[in-house]
Structure 1
Amino acid sequence: MSWWWATITSGFTEPTHAWNLQMMRIFFGIGCFAKFVHGATGGGWQRFDEGQISRFLMKRRLGTAWTSRFVVLYKPLLIIRILASLSLAMGFMSLPSALLVAAGLAFEMVFIPRFLTFFMLLLSLLLACAGNLGGFLSVDWDGVGSGNTWAQAMIVLLAVDLYINTAWLKLRSPQFRSGRVISQWMTTAQEIRPRLAGWNFYYPGFVREALCHPDGSPKPLAGFAAKSTIVIEFLIPIGLLYSPTMPLAFATGIICHFFFMLMLPRHLVTYSICTVSTYFAFAAI
């Protein structure tokens, strides 16, 4: 019986190697650090300054009084969550840092609610439930115990759910299967990029030329890429759950997320790092 099933059926008491979640903590912290720095740059620092559309929309949605209080906290919280993610990556006060990172992600959900941000929020809360996330700038390679078992099992289930559901939603979409979603997204991004602050929608030009016609319609390669993405996203968690195929699934996942980043580097790099960090939770004992 594999470790993850034994863990669940035995009440989350099976011992596991401590380094699994410690390595995940490092990479997850790096991904959150990149996300939070991105959120404070490229116009993010000025998001709620007077006259900005985000401030106007929040006033209309939540009222002037609440918005005024939120604006006072906005910039200090941007700094705090950057420091918390860096502290988490280095292993300094890891559990409190994970809670602060979770608070920083919940804070972002107030004004930019996204499923991927919520996924990262759940991961940070699960890390905060782990018993041993390592020391400052160190990893306990030899430690074995049950302190991290529940958190590890929940992270595995969350990652499997993310991949399977993402693949299922894409499979149900004729627009995605045909490659039209990819081609139209890349064409639109190319058109609006000069109007946006920062490096929001940059991707290599040869990628667009390979996938899109000049009018935005998909080339055959776009449809092939879309269908391949569905298959790969479905197979990655299955491969990670089976010890003999874990290294192949690990490498495939990294390559897959690298190609995701080619389409939307500044936004998807953080999500990709955090998602790949969950692979360490699959490591067999």
Structure 2
Amino acid sequence: MSWLWEAISSGFNEPTRDWHLQAVRIMFGLACLAKFVHGATGGGWQRFRNDDISSYLFARRYGARFLAWMRLAYRPALVVRIIAAAMLAAGVYPHLFAALAVLGLLFEMLFIPRSLTFFMACMGTALACAGNLGRPFHLDDSTSTANTWAQAIVMILVLDLYINTSWLKIRSPQFRSGQVISQWLTSARQIQGRLPVWNYHYPQWLISLMANGDGNPTPIARVAAWGTIALEFLIPIGLLAESTRPVAIAAGIGMHVAFAGLLPRHLAAYSLCSTGAYFAFLNG
């Protein structure tokens, strides 16, 4: 914890281990790769091809002329951002491809605006402005101030993400009661056979634990909801203190595994990005 505050007060000039942020770069690149591949599959490749709901919403928001431009640029942009994510994870011209990955995320927000996508774009911007992001397929085990600014910004982004998401959940009566979890599991069970691609598969015993037959929450669902709130609030505190950091990292990985289990195709990228950012908290 003292390292972060000292870095902030001294203008982020404290020397850090370069491989920490380079590990964040690898995980971020893999997260973007998972997200971009997901965006190009499961019907994503066909978006804007016809007069579908995506075309209608996009034209209503930006106008028919911009929709025509989007239809021309959409598929090439999908290919470019997948390549950029793969090159970033491999460490090939990482600053260039980090910037291209950020552009790919912002491009997605034109038609699917999500706060988690914006979080990833902020993290990618920090990486694009970093100093030493490593060489292809290699981590530099050196100590310098080249990455201190970017490393501290990544830490602040993760702290802000967890604290804000826990605050939003605790303000929601539907989430606190477990209703969000139970209704999600119930509805997903009913529609999963009608989806064009695999998104999730929940065993019946899990649904029985979390929801009644009408989708109302069970006591276990309420415990899971409050447990999620508690973890999202306590994990960032634990990450700041060196003595509790291993426990916080283990708890965070377990929590994100559970998140990815609820919606693997959508939340796998977010989980990779968030847990990969834990490397930024290492100071040894």
TM-score by length of 2: 0.97
Matched residue, 1:273: 272
Query: What is the alpha-carbon distance in structure 2 between the residues aligned to residue 71 and residue 200 of structure 1?
Result: 26
Give a deviation string over 1:123-161, Cα, whole Å, max 9, x none: 0000001101110000112x0111100111111111001
Question: Which residue of structure 1 lines up, in the alignment, with residue 262 of structure 2?
Answer: 263
Unaligned runs of 5+ residues in structure 2 are none
Report the Cα distance in structure 2 between the residues aligned to 1:35 and 1:111, rounded to whole angstroms: 15
Q: Within 1, Cα distance between the matches of 2:135 and 2:149?
A: 20
- In the alignment, structure 1 segments of 5+ residues that lack a partner are none
Task: State the match for 1:190 in structure 2.
Answer: 189
Deviation of the 1:2 alpha carbon? 1.5
Aligned to 1:73: 73
Q: 2:200, 2:261 within 8 Å by CA — same for their partners in 1?
A: no
For residues 116 and 203 of structure 1, the distance between their equivalents in structure 2, rounded to whole angstroms, comes to 24
What is aligned with 1:89? 89
Aligned to 1:2: 2
1:203-257 superposed Cα distances (whole Å, 9 cap, x missing partner): 3443222211111011110000011111111111111111111111111100011
Amino acid at match of 2:99: L
- Corresponding residue for 2:131? 131
Question: Deviation string for 1:176-228 (max 9, x for gaps)?
Answer: 11101110112122223233321234334432222111110111100000111
Q: Which amino acid in the other structure matches residue 173 of structure 2?
A: P
Aligned residues: 284
SS of aligned partner of 1:58: helix
Per-residue deviation, 1:56: 2.1
Q: Is the 8 A contact 1:202 1:264 kept in 2?
A: no
Matches of residues 195-206 of structure 1 in structure 2 within 5 Å? 195-206=194-205
Q: Could you tell me how far apart the structure 1 residues matched to 2:69 and 2:235 are?
A: 44
Name the amino acid aligned to 1:91: G
In structure 2, the CA distance between the partners of 1:155 and 1:168, relative to structure 1 (3 Å rule), is same
- Which moved further from structure 2: 153-162 or 206-215? 206-215
Report Cα offsets for 1:151-172 as digits up to 9, x if no partner: 1111111100110111111111
What percentage of aligned pairs have identical amino acids? 53
Return the letter of the residue paired with 2:223: F
Aligned to 1:103: 103
The separation in 1 between residues aligned to 2:47 and 2:166, in whole angstroms, is 33
Distance (whole Å) between structure 1 residues aligned to residue 6 and residue 48 of structure 2: 49
The alpha carbon displacement at 1:264 in A equals 1.2
* 2:47 matches 1:47: yes
